[in-house]
Structure 1
Amino acid sequence: MARIINVPGEFSKIGDALGNADAGDTIKVARGTYNENITLVMGVILKGEDPLTTIIDGGRNGPTVMGTSGAEMSHFTVRNGLEGILCENAAPYIHHCYVMDNHATGIGAFISLPHLRNNVVYGNRWSGILAWGAKSLDAYIEHNVVLRNGYSGLALKGPTNVVARNNIFMENHYYGVFADPAAGQTKVEYNNIYKNYYPFN
């Protein structure tokens, strides 16, 4: 039967709770700062108590969060990783998170695209969201605020075919949205793109 697992009530670390969770379980994480690097688990919901005060700090020891297909994560601040959230051929659902102050990309997606909704991606040293060779017909980048990142708000590299809609890309240090020619099938629609370094993109 599905369980609710509490952190730090039952496990002091989020990673330990994930290691003891099964598909269908929900992990609820109380406010606080958790200094660890975690990997999501298929079928497990990971939910913080409050997105501003429930913090996962990666300590620059690799990605703060590694994505897994079929996982769900919400209501966290994800900070101080090499990447904030890294999804390699994995498509989790990430929503209502702050992804900030990571050394490289805030959210990186390679091959497959996570569903990114209602996140704030802020102040990462490279792009806010990077999709490289990512293709998805049923996952979207939507309703996110992506601002003040070191390169582009959204970078689309390689043969990428995704949908980015209803986002705000603001005050990024190069482009609001960068798309290389191989990403020509991507749909970028109904976004607000302004005050980026290159105003035409």
Structure 2
Amino acid sequence: MKRFTTSVCLALVVAVVSYATATILHVPSEYPTIQLGINAAVDGDTVLVAPGTYVENINFLGKAIVVTSEAGAESTIIDGSAPAHPDSGSVVYFVSGEDSNSIISGFTITSGSGTYMEIYPSYSYWAYCGGGILCAGGSNPLISDNIVMENVCAYGAGIGCHYSDPRVLGNVIILNTADDHGGGLFCYHANTWLESNMIADCNTGHGRGGGVHIQWGTATIVGNTIVGNVGGLGGGIFASHYYGLIEGNHMAYNLAQARGGGIWARWSDPHIRHNIIERNVAPSDGGGIYCDGGGHSGE
């Protein structure tokens, strides 16, 4: 018992010391760019950013840190329009195994063009993914209270989630355009938790998932407002090989060029319950919901 007590006390001392030594790094008064603040930070630190426009593309580098703004998203903008390399045009990167202690909050994230990467490994298919934010390589960050807007790329113009499980909470994801799939979000082999977001006016043209594209996974989609999005299949949500929960969302005024104005589910077994799905349009089939193959339940 004495040995156990000693071990517990030592663990508590280490935790207290770690908390006490956490640092707030100020941008731009101490570090001129957000990335320089991240470079200097260690796990547990906070990079606190003053209002302004920061023309840069930032990478969390696997660190368990908080990057947040002093005054909120409307006045603190990360503009990714000038990447160091045109193939690396995502505005924010989580690609080094970040976990839920890696947090970005309180920014407008805009003008991203995505990162050229292998989207479908089994086909060796490459394209640009994650215009605003790219989560890949087993990264599971927290993305909260941001405005992700006016980003353009092929897959996941707003947020691209590729073999990663981020939590995406309370964001406004608006006016993003994907050439292929996922105007707002693209989730591939990603068990994303998507809650209390506004996903609006995103577009994939004749591609899939104007608002959200999910392929392979159990993403949870709860309490979101998904309105005014346009896609070829699935104006609001496109789901393929999907086995998750879609609950308590408001989906309205979404347009599919073919099928599934609100939701298009293929070879999936989603649980769809307690949603308001109204005034969505599809010229072919399923103005509200179109299901093709697989099982599905609704309430």
TM-score range, shorter chain: over 0.9
Q: How many residues align?
A: 195
CA 60–109 in structure 1, closer or farther in 2 if over 3 Å, else same: farther
Could you tell me which runs of 5 or more consecutive residues in structure 1 were left unpaired when the two chains were aligned: none
Moved over 4 A (4+): none
Amino acid across the alignment from 1:79: T
- SS of equivalent to 1:52: helix
- SS of equivalent to 2:22: coil
Say if 2:24 and 2:48, in contact at 8 Å, map to a contact too: yes
Matches within 5 A, 1:1-201: 1-40=21-60, 41-49=62-70, 50-59=72-81, 61=83, 62-67=89-94, 69-70=98-99, 71-82=102-113, 83-88=131-136, 89-104=138-153, 105-126=157-178, 127-135=183-191, 140-151=193-204, 152-157=210-215, 159-174=216-231, 175-180=235-240, 182-183=241-242, 185-197=243-255, 198=261, 199=280, 200-201=288-289
Cα distance between partner residues in 2 of 1:60 and 1:27: 22
Could you tell me which runs of 5 or more consecutive residues in structure 2 were left unpaired when the two chains were aligned: 1-20, 84-88, 114-130, 205-209, 256-260, 262-279, 281-287, 290-299
Give CA deviations for 1:106-163 in whole Å, capped at 9, x if unaligned: 011011221000000000012101111113xxx6200000000012111102x11111
Cα distance between partner residues in 2 of 1:116 and 1:42: 18
Say if 1:60 and 1:103, in contact at 8 Å, map to a contact too: no
CA 100–5 in structure 1, closer or farther in 2 if over 3 Å, else same: same
The alpha carbon displacement at 1:186 in A equals 1.6
The alpha carbon displacement at 1:93 in A equals 0.2
Say if 2:55 and 2:82, in contact at 8 Å, map to a contact too: no
Cα distance between partner residues in 2 of 1:172 and 1:78: 19
The structure with more radius of gyration: 2
Say what the alpha-carbon RMSD is for the aligned residues.
1.2
Say if 1:66 and 1:85, in contact at 8 Å, map to a contact too: yes
The alpha carbon displacement at 1:42 in A equals 2.1
With the length of structure 1 as denominator, give the TM-score of the two structures.
0.93
Cα distance between partner residues in 2 of 1:21 and 1:60: 24
CA 60–9 in structure 1, closer or farther in 2 if over 3 Å, else same: closer
- SS of equivalent to 2:219: strand
Cα distance between partner residues in 1 of 2:107 and 2:248: 27
Amino acid across the alignment from 2:238: F
Cα distance between partner residues in 1 of 2:184 and 2:217: 16
Say if 1:13 and 1:34, in contact at 8 Å, map to a contact too: yes
Amino acid across the alignment from 1:134: A
My pick for the range that moved more, 55-64 or 19-28, is 55-64
Amino acid across the alignment from 2:151: N
